[in-house]
């Protein structure tokens, strides 16, 4: 059986508001705020090119480590700049001395249904500013 992505909310502005609420909750370490914006079955995927901190298996559910990590790393939220990723809401994070990371969010029914973090330098090397 193949995993199907949920149908995204139609309005990109609504999706961005949900992402903004997620970033605010992450920045403030607000677990309850994260719980409100994350779908109970949120899928969290990382791609760091097979090495480093982003080399982890997919996590499903807001109680899993991946989404909960957002509350422990408020710095990423403060550095996040809005971008559009494949037509949907996303952010790019560039911290001094750290590799660039792109985070794409899938927002469905007013909640974040999936978070994809890409930090693989081979995939982001041609990314312009």
Who has greater pLDDT, 4 or 42?
42
Model confidence pTM above 0.75: yes
Whether residue 34 contacts residue 25, with contact meaning beta carbons closer than 8 Å, is answered with yes
Q: In what order do the strands lie in the sheet with 111-118?
A: 59-60, 38-47, 111-118, 101-108, 88-93, 80-85
Is it the case that residue 118 has pLDDT exceeding 70? yes
CA 19 to chain CA centroid, nearest Å: 8
- Quick one: what percent of the chain has pLDDT higher than 90? 32
Give the pLDDT confidence of 49-106 residue by residue, as tens digits: 545 444 454 555 655 444 445 544 557 788 899 999 989 999 998 878 777 889 999 9
Using DSSP bridges, classify how beta strands 59-60 and 38-47 pair: parallel, antiparallel or unpaired. Answer: antiparallel
Is it the case that residue 31 has pLDDT exceeding 90? no
Domains of the chain: residue spans and CATH: 12-121 (3.10.450.50)
Cα dist. 43→6, 75, 76 in Å? Answer: 11, 22, 19
Chain length of the chain: 129
């Amino acid at each position: 059986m193949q995993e199907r992505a949920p149908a995204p909310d139609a309005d990109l502005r609504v999706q961005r508001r949900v992402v903004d609420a997620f970033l605010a909750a992450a920045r403030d370490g607000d677990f309850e705020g994260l719980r409100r914006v994350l779908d109970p079955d949120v899928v969290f995927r990382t791609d760091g090119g097979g090495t480093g901190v982003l080399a982890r298996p997919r996590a499903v559910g807001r109680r899993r480590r991946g989404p909960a990590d957002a509350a422990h790393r408020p710095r990423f939220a403060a550095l996040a700049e809005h971008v559009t990723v494949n037509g949907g809401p996303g952010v790019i994070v560039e911290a001094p001395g750290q590799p660039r990371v792109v985070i794409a969010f899938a927002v469905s029914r007013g909640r974040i249904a999936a978070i994809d973090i890409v930090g693989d330098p081979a995939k982001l090397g041609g990314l312009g500013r």
